[in-house]
Each structure stands twice: as C-alpha cells, then as structure tokens.
Structure 1
Amino acid sequence: MRLYPLFADLNGLPVLVVGGGSVAERKVAALLEAGAVVRVGAPRLLPALADQAADGRIAHLDGAFEPSWLDDVWLVIAATDNRDLNAEVAACATGRRILCNVVDDPALSRFQVPAVVDRAPLTIGISTGGAAPMFARRVRETLESHLDPAIGPLVALAQRHRKAIVDAFPDLAARRRFYDGLYDGPVLDLLRHARHFEAEAALLEALDRDAPPVPGSVVLVGAGPGDPGLLTLAGLRELNRADVILHDQLVGPEVLAMTRRDAERIDVGKRGGGRHTPQSEINELLLQHARAGRYVVRLKGGDPLVFGRGGEEMLYLRRHGVACTVVPGVTAAVACAAYAGIPLTHREHAQSVRLLTAHCKDSLDTLDWAALAGERQTLAVYMGLAQLAHLTGQLLAHGRAADTPFALIENGTLPQQRVLRGELHALPALASAHRIAAPALLVIGPVATMADELRWFGEMVDAASRCADADLAFCPSFQRKLEPSASLAT
C-alpha cells in the first residue's frame, strides 16, 4: 500500500479521539500541540485526560460510541482496545468521508500517523504504511542523531525574512542558491553556536547582493582512532558540509566514505618511513582554500588537540585572519585502551594518567623521567614504536619496576587489532619478535593486566609463543638477577 504523504493544518479544527486509555492520551497530546480542538469519547478517562477535560482543554463525550460524535469533525482516531468498536468507528467515518486512523490496525485506517522528527518549524514524518512501525521508529532515531539541531532555528529565521528573500531574489534559481548559502554558510554555523543575533545579521547582509563574498573558514575535526563508529555526530555533520577535506593518512576509507561526495579530498598524511607532507605545506593549503571562500575540514585521527598539531594550525589560521573552530574526537589513548579492555584509571592501581608522545628521541629527552617512573599511574604513549628501547631504558634507569605490566595495542579499534601483553623489561624484544607495527599505542602500568580478563575486541598476542626468538634478557620467564642498568646494557 502506497500512502500519499500529507501534513495537516488542524489548528482550530474539531478532531475526535475514541478511547480514554494511555494510547488515547498520547494521541490527544500530539493533537493539542498541533492546535486541534479535541473531543474524547469514552465511558472512562485516565486521570490525566480527566484533568484536561475538567480544565476545558478537551471536551469529554461520555458513554459508548455514537455516530453523532462525528458531527463536524475533520479527523478521527480510534484508540480503543476493542477491534469491533474500532471497525465501527472507521466505517462510520468512511461513510462521512472523514479520514480515520485506527491505532495499530492499518487495514482499518485511512491515514497513518508517522514517526516524527521535530525540528520546529521543520517536521519530518516517517511511515512504513503501517507495515512495521518499529522500523519507522529506528529510522527516526537515525535522523534524530544526524540532523543538525540548528536546522529548526534556521528555518524559523528564513521564515521570518521570507518576503525580503523573495523580493531580493525573484528568480527561483537565484533564490535556491541563496537558501543553499544559508544552509552551507556561516548563518547555520552561527545558529549552531547559539549566536542568533549575528546569524540574523549575516542573513540580512547576504540579502544585499553588493555585499562582499563571505570568507571561507576551517574546522578541525577529530576522526577518532580508526573505528568509523567513533566519529562524533558533530564531526559527521562537518564532513557533510565540507567543500575541501585535508585528511591524515591514518584516517581510514570507512570514515572518508561518510564525507560529502563532491568534496575535494587531499591526503596530507604523515607516517614514519612513508610519504611526508610538511606542516608548513599543510598550513598553506588550509589558508589557500579558506581564502578562496571554501568551507575546509581538517580531518585528523584521534583528537586534533592531542598530539595532532591542531593548536599550531589554529594559531596559524587565526593570525592570518581565518576563522577556525574545533570538533573534538575520541583520542587514541581512551579508545584503544577501552577496546583492549583496559581502564586507564582504577581505584586500586592508578589515580592518574599521563599522555606522552615518543615520536623522536629529542622529544623523549625533554621528559621528567623520575616523575614518569612513579607508581600508581598509567602512562599512555603515542607514536612510540621506534623509541621503545630508549623509553624502556629510561623508565628502568629511573626506578620503574622491571615487572611493570605493559600492553601494546596495534591498530586499536580496527578489525585487525592486536594486543601484546608483557612486562616492561621485555617490551622492546617482544614488540620486535611479534613484529608490532604502527599505528600502536603503548599502555604502561598495573591497569594493563586487566586486558587479560576484560578484553572484548580483537586478538590477544601470546607473548610466550615467540619468546624463544627474543633476547632472554627481555623474556618474562627470564630469572632477572641483574640491576636495571645491567639489564638495560643487555
């Protein structure tokens, strides 16, 4: 059955609801919100409906259904639990050419009440023709999560200035481009940030066809560590607005597939041993596209402001007069640890977390190793594979226990995730023996042992399986009789 989609203006019109139970109560609430004059026919009413009748918000038709209840009404909803009675109401309504909905009975209904996404004055109705209303509910949930909450205020703003818009753009194609500009440009963005007066000023300025073109802008978006499901809703909205997307090499194809189809994509990835885009070149590309009036998304793995050079890019753009905002992402330490079953903090093991980058030896040499070697804390180390020996040696030399647990998480949150567990003294050799490759996050501290019991995603590497291939001084089974400095020399 194909339905004709229709939005009805019921303001001030009499509508009949037959039934006084909880279903009728929900239908009455929606009708009152639409401005209908509601009559409820039933021998008994739930207390909430009885209160509404007593207050005069609805009219109560007391007793069993009578065809006269249909006099002058424009719409009928049968909401009783008696199918025979519902069928009688529907037949009487059809005989009078009045549209009738029988709740949960599409065969008796002449119209369906859709699942609704409310972004007033924008309303979206979803219907399965009564075939599977629960699926309509799931579609509504999806739309609720993806539809920008600011779209309602944008529609209201456009409505308020509709006459001025029509007068300024009598040509329909030009008017359509103007509305597209409101949606894709700064007006919606200002409403999104609750800057309503500035949004209205931007609309009025755009009505002046002699006004200078609106400058472009940049938003830094965190894509998360790999699993596309960890991209935030705000991030997804920005990807669907972007004219240009400058993305890291580690942003996977599944995330890029969610971007606006006609957006220009530029890979500006940086990866050890591979192609490298200098930061200065990235800065210039962002500036160039923004100054050309484009909406630019700088898409970064993890979070833009956690070892992502997002702060450098923001400063560069701001100092060159380009607007720049941020959509945070789920950083790798949080996500990868969670997917490995590791709580970064735990009352019995760690009261603090330190996020470190071990991208190069120079950066490691600036760290306070004595503080990092302290107990009852978790170290989460980004980009540390190439410096594992140096990192391990410094921690051992500054007093961190050789049997401190570690977890090395390769390709965290992705289907090919692997977790290598062991003790700190064995870290470099085990990582080499098991050929752990970037991207990998290192977690050091007692909480790492919890992966043994709590892991729920990906594979756990059997560290002992290749222990024979590794230097004995780094094997968990090695009977350590050396001081940390001697062990490091080995």
Structure 2
Amino acid sequence: MQHFPIFVALSGRRVVLSGGGDAALAKLRLLLKTNAHLTVFATDPAPEIADWATAGRLDLQRRAMQSGDAIGAVLFYAADEDAVADARTSAIARAEGALINIVDNLEDSQFITPAIVDRDPVTVAIGTEGAAPVLARAIKADLEARLPVGLGTLARIGKAFRKVADALPMGRKRRDFWADYYFRDGPRALDQGEDAVAETLDRLLDRHLTIEARPGHVAFVGAGPGDPELLTLKARRALDEADVVIHDRLISPEILELARREAVLVDAGKEGFGPSMSQDEINALIVRHARTGAQVVRLKGGDATIFGRLDEEIDACAEADVTWHIVPGITAASAAVASIGQSLTRRDRNASVRFLTGHDMKGFADHDWKTLARSGEVAAIYMGKKAARFIQGRLIMHGADPATPVTVIENASRADQRVIASTLASLPADLTAAGLSGPALTLYGLAPRAAMATLSEIKQQEFA
C-alpha cells in the first residue's frame, strides 16, 4: 500500500489551488462539497470559477501564486496543467507546510484524491494508486447503483442520535441496535419522512434497552479453498457478525481481511506432521469465547464437514450447552478438479469418487486399495504430499496401471495455484522436483483437460 487512506477534517481549514482550467474545475467541484476555505490563484480563470467567487463560495486571486500564499493551508492542488508552473507552485506550498497534489503527477504528489461515492455523511473513497483510474470509476459507478440515495439521510439522522444510543453498552448490543436501524427499521420508516425515522429510532432504542443480549454462539464456517470470491454469502454474513474468528493456519489473508476490524482473530495453528495446537486446546478455546457471550466463527479451510474434525468441536459445544450451526463451504476437491477442467464423476467411467486423507496414516493404510486400483477409479486425496510414495506402492501392488494419470494441485483456486501433471509411476519424483510448499490436493485417475485456460486468463475473462 503506497498511499494510506485517511479522511482529512477540512471544516474551517484552508485549501489552496493554483490553476483555472479543466483540471482546476474537476478538483474544485469536489472541494466545494466540503466546508473548507478555498483560495484559487488563476490569471485566467474559467467562468465557473469566477461565478463561484462571486457567489462567495471561494476566494479568487487573479494572479500567479507567490511565496506566502500557502501559509496556513492544509492541502494544496497544483492544477495549472503546465509542468514548470506546477513544479514552482508545489515547491512554494511544500515549503509552507501544505500537503501537495500535482494533477496527473502521481510520483511528485504527497497525496492523491480518490474516486468518491457521496452519500453525505457516508463517503466511500476508491483508490488504485493511480494505476487504473478507469477501474476506480467503474467501481464508483457500481457502488452508486447499489447504495440507495436515502442512505445519507439515514446516516445524518443516526449521527444526531449517537449520544442517545450511548445508553446501550459498547459491543454487540450497540451494534445490533444500529444494524436494525440501518438495514431494517430505518429504511422502512424513510418512505414516511424524516420525522418517522426519528420516531423509529426512539422506539428501537427502547426495545434494545429491554431485550437481553444474545447468548454466545458458534458458527462452523467453511472458508472454501482460498479464493475469497468462492466464499458463500452465508459465510460472508457470519464473518460480518463475528466477535471472535478462530481460524485454521491455511486460511488465506484475503479471507481474514473480510472479518470485522474489531473482531478478535485467533490462529488455531493446526499443522499436519508438525507442531500445532492440540484439538483439545481448540475445543476449549471455542467454548471459552462462546461462554463470554461472543458470536464465534470457527473458520475452516474448504468445507468444514470434510476432514475438519468437526464432530469433536461440535461435541465440545454440546457438552458446554453452547449453540452452534454449520455453514458449508466449497471443498478443495471441487476447486482442484475445476482448475483442470475435469469432473469428479463421469458417465461410463466412474459412478463414485473417494475422498481420502493422507494425514491419518493408520486409516489411510487400511483403505481398500484393491478397489481403487481398478481402471477408471477416481480419488481426491487431501494432505497427501508426504504420502506419495506410499500411495504409489499400495496401488501398484494391487494391480494399478503405472501409467494412470495423477494430478496434484497446489493452492487450488488461489493466484499462486500450480498444477503438476504426473502419472502413478512418476508421482514421487515429480513432487520432489516441484518442491511444493503450499497445501496440495492429489487427484488420482484424472489428468488436466487439454487447452485449459490458465487461472490468470480466467480472471481476465471474468473481469471483461
């Protein structure tokens, strides 16, 4: 992140701009929405700027900017659309303590003005580090279409009510009150006018002052294979409501970013074949947080019901009288097979598919390898990197064709996804050569479909 996003308080403060053409007009149209004291220096200002000055909306100086003109200014815009003039005025402003923005000169600017969605007092700022203004405008248009015009009115009325709402205790009880206002009761009342909205706030506060706080609860949420776009809507809502998120080690940072900023994030730290938090410790952690009244999300990679030790954690909740529910997710096998353009089952090939885990070696060793070794069988093997030689030996020993295709997908669905096409005969050697470091899923009996687009190409097609 090259530019840290902040909102600068401009009410009653001085902002200076040098320029009188199109670039100046674009900046001034935005700045005039604030309560800043605007001063413009322009020898030949556009008629609109002159009109704004006549109306008292800004101070227009019909001359070039000189030393001393930016004293006391918090922000300065160089908008003369001339490199030499912009360099001269920005040097003055910088020396006199203002943060400077040079229009269309990202490298020499100290700050940038983002694309803005204005639902005053709700403001959404969109920045792309200057790399893709067209993308910023597209996002802006999309958000403007999604956010109702009345949102600003609700926010303005709600802002005036905030001190009254402080009667509610901090935390979930207060958040529940505001959620009901903005997403349920408030929008319904808005159609009847602002007075109806104010009355609704009073009734809503009375109700929330008397109702008991929600008890602690646990949502077991499948986070999918890693791509945040593959999260379900229900999973997103659970993250939005969570006070505590207890997550697996391999949950992608992009998904953790979707949790509320105030939520407590706890890395459960389970790691196959290495040091990790014990399952008993995880169970106790879940119960302890839920007993404080927290809404807990136990975030598991893929689908929580597949090789996720879900039953043990549910049993711990049940024994502690903690309520829970399950939010399914897309399992890694589904993402992995999609990435190679295949299906897990196919008519006239296989009517069933096996899900195996290489982590539980005792159960793995006892598997029905003779049946899997038959022609046309398909298996999705989770956490099987270190068991590759064992898999190869068991299958060949039971008659599997050494030429059977085997595909290993590392970081399925993520930007750094890798696909290793192999065969049963060469699997251990190919994995050693690949040097995989991320989570990988092995698809036995399937090869990548020819002419498959790469993940980056697919992303480009989706955007287009």
For the aligned pair, the TM-score class normalised by the smaller chain equals 0.5 to 0.7
Q: In structure 2, what is the Cα distance between the partners aligned to 1:428 and 1:143?
A: 53
In structure 1, the partner of 2:381 is 381
8 Å contact kept, 1:339–1:413 = yes
SS at match of 1:174: coil
Question: Which AA in structure 1 matches 2:447?
Answer: A
User: In the aligned structure 2, how far is the partner of 1:270 from the partner of 1:416?
Assistant: 22
Partner deviation per Cα, 1:261-303 (whole Å, 9 max, x = no partner): 0111111121235440111101000000000011111111111
Tell me, what secondary structure is at the counterpart of 1:389? helix
Alignment root-mean-square deviation, CA? 4.1
Cα 1:411/1:134, change in 2 over 3 Å:
closer
Q: Return the offset for 1:208.
A: 8.7
The 5 Å alignment of 1:458-469 reads none
Give 1:180 shift.
2.8
- How far apart, CA to CA, are the structure 2 residues paired with 1:288 and 1:232? 27
Please report the TM-score for the alignment, with normalisation by the length of structure 2. 0.56
2:372 and 2:378 in contact (8 A); partners too: no
Provide the residue aligned with 1:454 in structure 2.
Answer: 452
Partner residue, 2:21:
none
Quote the residue 2:167 is aligned against: 174
In the alignment, the residues of structure 2 paired with residue 419 and residue 395 of structure 1 have an alpha-carbon distance, to the nearest angstrom, of 22
Q: Are 1:218 and 1:290, in contact at CA under 8 Å, matched by a contact in 2?
A: yes
Report 1:1-16 matches (<5 A). Answer: none
Secondary structure of 1:281 counterpart: helix
TM-score, length basis structure 1:
0.54
One-letter identity of the residue aligned with 2:142 = R
The Cα shift of 1:228 comes to 1.8
Q: How does 1:206-355 map to 2 (within 5 A)?
A: 207=207, 213-272=213-272, 274-347=274-347, 349-355=349-355
| Equivalent residue, structure 2, for 1:11 | none
After superposition, what is the alpha-carbon deviation per residue over 1:397-427, rounded to whole angstroms, capped at 9, x for unaligned?
2222221101011122222221111211211
Q: Within 1, Cα distance between the matches of 2:311 and 2:229?
A: 25
Change (3 A) 1:344 1:261: same
What does residue 100 of structure 1 align with? Answer: none
Could you tell me which residue of structure 2 aligns to residue 356 of structure 1?
356
User: Following TM superposition, by how much is the alpha carbon of 1:139 offset from its aligned partner in structure 2, in angstroms?
Assistant: 2.3
1:423 maps onto 2:423 in alignment:
yes
Gaps of 5+ in 2: 1-28, 34-116, 125-135, 149-153, 155-160, 184-202, 458-464
In the TM superposition, residue 308 of structure 1 has moved relative to its aligned partner by 1.1
Change (3 A) 1:354 1:455: farther
- Distance across 2 between alignment mates of 1:310 and 1:184: 31
1:30 equivalent in structure 2: none
In 1: Cα distance, 2:335 partner to 2:380 partner: 11
SS of equivalent to 2:242: coil
Cα distance in structure 2, aligned partners of 1:285 and 1:134: 43
Q: Secondary structure at the match of 2:337?
A: helix
Distance 1:173 1:455 in 2: 55
Amino acid at match of 2:176: G
Change (3 A) 1:332 1:141: farther
2:165 and 2:174 in contact (8 A); partners too: no
3-state SS in 1 of match to 2:167: helix
Q: 1:139 aligns with which of 125, 140, 143?
A: 143
| Larger displacement relative to structure 2 (235-244 or 266-275) | 266-275
Q: Distance in 1 between matches of 2:289 and 2:169?
A: 24
Gaps of 5+ in 1: 5-114, 116-123, 127-131, 145-154, 156-165, 189-202, 460-490
- Deviation, structure 1 residue 321: 0.7
Find the aligned partners of 1:213 and 1:227 in 2 and give their Cα distance.
34
What is the number of residues matched between the two proteins?
304
Larger radius of gyration: 1
Per the TM alignment, residue 312 of structure 1 is displaced from its structure 2 partner at its CA by 2.0
Q: In 1, Cα distance between the equivalents of 2:319 and 2:346?
A: 42
Deviating more after overlay: 393-402 vs 237-246? 393-402
Q: Secondary structure at the match of 2:390?
A: helix
